[in-house]
Each structure stands twice: as structure tokens, then as C-alpha cells.
Amino acid sequence: MHHALLFSVFVIASCGLAYELIAAGLSSYLLGDSITQFSTVIGVYLFAMGVGSWLSKYIARDLIGRFIQIELMVGLVGGFSAAFLFSIFTWMTAPFKLVLYLVVFLVGVLVGLEIPLVMRILKRDLEFKEVVSQVLTFDYLGALVVSIMLPLFLVPHLGMMRSGLMFGLMNAAVALWAMHLFRTQLAARRWLRSQCWAVILILAGGFIGAGQLTSLSETHLYADEIIFTESSPYQRIVLTRWRDDMRLFLNGNLQFSSQDEYRYHEALVHPGMAAMPWARRVLVLGGGDGLAVREILKYPQVESVTLVDLDPAMTRLFATAPMLTTLNQNALKSPKVKVINADALTWLENEKGYYDFVVVDFPDPANFSLGKLYSSAFYRLLEKRLSARGQMVVQSTSPLYARQSFWCVVTTLESAGFKTRPYHALVPSFGEWGFILAGRETQPIPSSYPVATRFLNAETTPALFNFPADMARVPSEANQLNNQVLVRYFEQEWRKVIR
């Protein structure tokens, strides 16, 4: 019997860690700054487990019955935690962080009660040293398994809501299994059995309806009709449409509007490319939507474009969906284009080729995993891949709304040895947006554009490189891997804008 209970320890350890990781992952999806979210959620969760372990001493009678009921409570609260938190974020005006930490604390207390009770039950059949060693062994083994399975398999295929509910069902199954193991020692068997099946039915109903709940919540979160959603291992991809305006959101953040994306992508590509008629090999980092590639392919002298984007779900979507291939003019299917799905920093460390022009089109540095792609170390790696006269352009957030963040990127590029030429353009969906040309030599401002453009022209281009007083340079530190100061600047500045 004790072997079956030890296997239950493996299951409940897996479930406990899963709830913790799901809460931390969901909060980083919704709030950004993944290090802060994971650190605070894990800290609160571990503290709550300590509180639960302390409270377990007050459970003196009917240990098995109390264990079964705690399993059912963990299954219900933990199983529905992701669905509840996402609904709070999208539907309620309640302070999300307060609710998040209350839910994490409650789950942590319940999980903290589990292991002490199991150890006290097992103590009847095993020596104390055997109880401790075996329980902790299965506990840590369960944590290892779920830490691998959750991000690699469960969340990409089930999503966070269904993953949480699946683990809730596992907790309820442990309760039902304990009912069977200790059936001769339980006084209120019928009542406990009714509780078990009621919880299982509730969780199963939630699992079946999770897709509808997600769709309902996202419909409230996004103003326009949602026409596509997908959760990849890296991000939540949502496409919306209102009349002829299609919008892409990654983890809830707008990436483009089809109404004005041409302004952004023309400003990103052409001020650099128009002054480089000799450019043959082009590298695009990020930009998995293929819209920057579309603009690059307008130049007939370009022989090859290498696109490096982390998420294969993005590049696959924008290479196959008709409504999106129409927008990017089937750029990702061009014989000149090679698509590589890899982390840009890791890929650069191993790349040996040289490029005449590099487009750095990453999402804004809202967290530390993105902030590393704006660091001096990253730019030094990139410099090694530039040809003798090579240039690059970096999208650099808004010099109006995130002024210090923008000039931090300029400072970081200069600290890596680049000569920079910052500029800006108005993109209605985003506001005033910033870009930086960088190279070993200062890039001249183009006097004409040899390709068709809808936004740029020679007469208005000089104004892009002129910064008015409210966007003029301000002091800032260089962004380095060991300080990630840019992420702090970005979070502080955009928090004021959102308010």
C-alpha cells in the first residue's frame, strides 16, 4: 500500500509545481517582466507552502479523510487558477496582482499541507528515515518531470487553462485512489466519494469548455473580431480584424495594423537600403511576419535574405495563411529567402557568414529575454557579421513615449563601437516610433528612393532625422547583459503611458 501512496506523492508534486509554473507563466504573459513575475510568484508560493506545512500540525484526527479533501481542494483551486486569473485580467477591474498573489498563496498553503500528511500516514508502516527519503525522492522526481513536460509539450498543445485543469483532474484522481486504498479505514466513505466525483465532473467540464472560455475572455480583451489564435512554446499569437484592418498581437501586445504597417516597414528598411545600391546579402533578425522582407525584396540587386525568427509558428503562419501571404506579398516563399527558426543570440554565436545590411526587428524590450537582444554584447556579435561597408537598422521603441529607452539603445550601440544615425517616423497605430541606423561609418541620408514607396519620399526624409525638443537625447546607461538597464527604463516609461 505504501508504494501506491508514494506514487501519489510523485503525482501531487507534479501538480503542485505545475500550478506554480502556470501562475508565473500567465503573469509574465499578461504583465511582462518575466524575471520579476517568476521571482515573486515562486517566493509567495514557497512561503505559502511553509505556512501550509506549519498548519498541518493542527490536523490531528482522520488524517486520510483530511488528505483526500485537501487533494480535492488543491485540484479545484489549482486546476481553475489559470482560467480564473485570465478572466479576472480581462473582465474585472479588480487589481490583478493582488488577486494573483492571493490565488498563489491559497494554492501554496494547500500544497504545503499535502506532504506532511502523507508522511504522517506512511509513518504507520515505515521507519521515519525511510519515510523522509522516499517521500522527498518522489517529490523531487515529480518536480523534474513536470518542469520538462509543461513548457515543451503541455502548454503548446493544451494551453495554460487546459494544462491547469488537467493537473486538477490528476489531484482529484489521487483523492479517488486514496479512497480505494484506505476504503476499510474511512468512516464517511459515501460522502467522500460523492465529493470526489463532484470535483472530477466540475474539472472535466472546465477542461471541455476551456476553449470557449478562452475565446470569450479574449473577445473581451481585444476590441475587434478574433480570426486566429495559437499558443506556441514562445508566445500567444492572436489575429483580429475589423473591416479591412487586420492586427497581430503577441502576448497581448500589438505588433502591426494592416492599415499602417507600411509606414513602419518602409521606415525600417528603406532609409538604410536606399543608400546601399551595392547591398547583396541581407539578414533579418525577428520580423517573422515577412513584412520587412517584402520591402527588402523590392531591391533587385539583393541576392539573398536570411530571416532568423525564434518561433516557427509565426513564420509558418505568415508563409501559408492566404490573408497574410497577401499582406507580405508571399515574401517568405521567395527563392531568395531562407527562413531559420532559432534564438538570434545563439545563432549569431555560430554564424560565419557576412551581410551587407541587417534589419533588427525584435519586439520591444519588455522583459529580460528580449532585453538581451538589445545589449552591447549582442551588438558586438552582430558587428562581426557585417561586411566591410555593412550597415544595420534597429527598431528602437518610441522616442516620445519611451524617450530614455530609445536613447539607451543609441548609447548601447555606440558603446559597442558603432556610429549611429537615429531617426523617427509617425505610425498611427503606435504613435511616434524610433529607428537607428548603425555601422562602422556614418550612413548618409538617402537623397532618393529607387523603389516604390507609399510613405517615404526624398523631400520629407531629412525631417525623420531631426528630433524636436520633446524627443531630444537624454542621458542613459548602456544596456549590458549583467544589468539589463533598458528593461527597467522601458517598464517605467510605458507604465506611465498605459496609465
Q: Is 182 helix (H, G, I), strand (E, B) or coil?
A: coil
Q: How far is CA 230 from CA 157, 249, 311, 409, in A?
A: 9, 11, 12, 31
Let me know if 224 is a catalytic residue.
no
φ/ψ of 354, rounded to 5, equals -120, 150
Quickly tell me which residue has 558603432 as its cell: 418
Asked if 423 and 490 count as a contact pair (C-beta separation under 8 A), the reply is no
For the chain, residues classed under CATH 3.40.50.150 are: 259-498
How many residues are present in the chain?
Answer: 499
How many other C-beta atoms can be found within 10 angstroms of the C-beta atom of residue 59? Answer: 16
Instruction: Say which DSSP state 419 is in.
Output: E
Instruction: Show Cβ contacts of residue 6 under 8 Å, excluding neighbours closer than 6 positions.
Output: 122, 134, 135, 138
Beta strands in 130-243 (DSSP E): 225-231, 236-242
Question: Any bridge partners for residue 237, and if so which?
Answer: 230, 250
Q: Which fold has domain 2-221?
A: Growth Hormone; Chain: A; (1.20.1250)
Q: pTM here?
A: 0.77
Q: How far is CA 120 from CA 2, 110, 136, 171, in A?
A: 12, 16, 13, 19
Q: Which three cell numbers stand for residue 304?
A: 539573398
Instruction: Say which DSSP state 361 is in.
Output: E
Q: What is the CATH number of domain 259-498?
A: 3.40.50.150
Q: Which three cell numbers stand for residue 174?
A: 489521487
Angle at 43 between CA 37 and CA 44, to 5 degrees: 90
Walk along the chain (499 residues) and give the pLDDT tens digit of each residue: 556 666 778 888 889 889 988 888 888 777 766 677 888 899 999 999 999 999 999 998 888 898 999 999 999 999 999 888 888 877 665 588 889 999 999 999 999 998 888 888 877 666 767 777 877 787 788 888 888 888 778 877 787 888 999 999 999 999 998 888 887 877 778 888 899 999 999 999 999 888 777 766 666 667 788 899 887 878 889 999 998 899 999 878 889 999 999 999 999 999 999 999 999 999 999 999 999 999 999 999 999 999 999 999 999 999 999 999 999 999 999 999 999 999 999 999 999 999 999 999 999 998 888 899 999 999 999 999 999 999 999 999 999 999 999 999 999 999 999 999 999 999 999 999 999 999 999 989 998 999 999 999 999 999 999 999 999 999 999 999 888 899 989 988 987 765 4
Exposure letters 420-439 (e unless 16+ CB within 10 A, then b): bbbbbbebebbebbbbbbbb
Name the burial class of residue 135, with classes exposed (0-12), middle (13-18) and buried (19+) by CB atoms within 10 angstroms of its CB. Answer: buried
Q: Is 465 helix (H, G, I), strand (E, B) or coil?
A: coil
Question: Which pLDDT belongs to residue 417?
Answer: 95
Query: Could you say which of 260, 361, 364, 470 is catalytic?
Result: 361
- The single-letter code of the amino acid at 363 is P
Q: Which three cell numbers stand for residue 319?
A: 508563409
Residue 474, by phi and psi: left (phi above 0), alpha (psi -120 to 50) or beta?
Answer: beta
Nearest CA-CA partner of 151 in 143, 159, 142:
159
